[in-house]
Structure 1
Amino acid sequence: MAGRRPKPTALKLVTGNPGGRPLNKLEPKPETGIPPCPDWFLTGGHSRELWDRLAPDLFKMGVLTLSDASALEMLCISYAEFREANAQIERDGMTFMSENGLIKKHPAVGIRAEAWRRVMSGLVEFGLTPAARSKVQATPTPEASPFDEFL
């Protein structure tokens, strides 16, 4: 599908629907919650580290549902690939000498660049970059007074 990605109805409501197009009243509303971390994510691994850090924050922000498990999983996998490629570049350097004496780019450089694109795309999907957040106008929650707590 060519063109911009459609904006979710909830996001249109928060931003004030600047385009004025009709809202989708039949948009699915998945069950909110923090999906379980995939069993195969290794404890202490980069994928698991990002899942444990992001899932609670995304849930508090109101952008994570149980149906988003696969999208969050793909983001975490891409992040782990980025970290692993970056570690290999730090160990081996960005270039290497080929058998015929030419200096070539280390294969991990391309892997890191592609993983970076996927990570950034995933972060934008969840509203986790400054530019993505700048498009959302959150409604502040009124602070409870001590009198309200008493009642």
Structure 2
Amino acid sequence: MARPRKPTTLKVVAGTDRPDRAPAEVAELPLVSDVPMAPDWLPNAHAIKEWDRLAPILHANKLLTEAGLSALGQLCALHGKTVQLYAAGEAPVASMVAQLRGLMNDFGLTPAAQGKVRPHGDTEKPGNAFTALGKPRAQAAK
């Protein structure tokens, strides 16, 4: 099974966007203009706290789209339920942990996914330190 394509916005933020590899047609989803309030359907205070923590981070890095709000809500709801289980001395089932980790990866929130995403505005590539030395000149034949 093929891996799903990385969204263009993530590629732009990470600095890996290449015009020669762009798919023919890509749906560009509208970014959220302001950090939205947590949805009223989130199951508990832990989920709301996670929304309040993640939404500004994702918005600041231009990763939060109108279409991604429900996925962020699912991530926060799952996080809230997981925290409740741990607080009660229970462990969440493996499928719940896998789903939570998958959603975190989709938003670039795990250490492995973090390396693929650069903060917004950090798109300048470092220059070559050796360019100041100039090009080597050919030695005159003796």
Q: Same fold (TM over 0.5)?
A: yes
Please, which of 108, 115, 128 is the counterpart of residue 127 of structure 1?
A: 108
Match of 2:97? 116
Match of 2:38? 37
- Work out the CA distance in 1 between the residues paired with 2:99 and 2:76: 10
Residue-by-residue CA offset, 1:81-130 (whole Å, 9 max, x unaligned) = 111111122xxxxxxxxxxxxxxxxxx43x34333222211111001112
Maintained 8 Å contact 2:55/2:64: yes
Q: How does 1:1-151 map to 2 (within 5 A)?
A: 2-13=1-12, 14-17=15-18, 22-33=21-32, 34-41=35-42, 45-89=45-89, 108-109=90-91, 111-137=92-118, 140=122
Aligned residues: 119
More helix by share: 1
- Cα distance, 1:125–1:134 mapped onto 2, change above 3 Å: same
- Work out the CA distance in 2 between the residues paired with 1:12 and 1:31: 16
Deviation at 1:74, TM superposition (A): 0.6
RMSD (Å) for aligned C-alpha atoms: 2.6
Q: Any unmatched runs of 5+ in structure 1?
A: 90-107, 143-151
Maintained 8 Å contact 1:79/1:115: no
- Work out the CA distance in 1 between the residues paired with 2:112 and 2:7: 17
Between the two proteins, what is the percent identity of the paired residues?
A: 32
- Work out the CA distance in 2 between the residues paired with 1:16 and 1:39: 36
Match of 1:147? none
